[in-house]
Amino acid sequence: EAGVAQSPRYKIIEKRQSVAFWCNPISGHATLYWYQQILGQGPKLLIQFQNNGVVDDSQLPKDRFSAERLKGVDSTLKIQPAKLEDSAVYLCASSLDRRERREKLFFGSGTQLSVL
């Protein structure tokens, strides 16, 4: 089965520019997550969708980050304007249904963002 697809794989921008990341989850997965992973740290959850609704965005810096999941399938994460500290790998993950506590998360390979 196809895994979680993310693009682009790498992105280099200057601070104050905007950037967008795209994620296509595994077919049939209702739940989609965006994680931020700073070098040397574990992934940190930014936002979680159940179908096209936001379940948890408590860790999302809403003054500059936004995310949407139109039609409950693909998702886009945007940063505007970017700061130096946003340099990180942005990981997308999906799972069948978060209501099942024993769900497994399937991760994409991530987008590595460098803000100069």
Site residues, another protein (CB under 8 A): 4, 33, 40-45, 48, 56, 58, 91, 93, 98-99, 101-102, 104-110
Tell me the closest approach of the beta carbon of residue 18 to another protein, in angstroms.
24
**Alpha carbon 78 to chain centroid distance?**
9
Establish whether the linkage from the previous residue to 81 is cis, with ω within 30° of 0: yes
Q: Residue 16 or 44: which CB sits closer to another protein? A: 44
Tell me the closest approach of the beta carbon of residue 43 to another protein, in angstroms.
5
Q: Residue 27 or 58: which CB sits closer to another protein? A: 58
Q: Residue 81 or 103: which CB sits closer to another protein? A: 103
To the nearest 10°, report the CA torsion of 52, 56, 58, 62.
Answer: 0
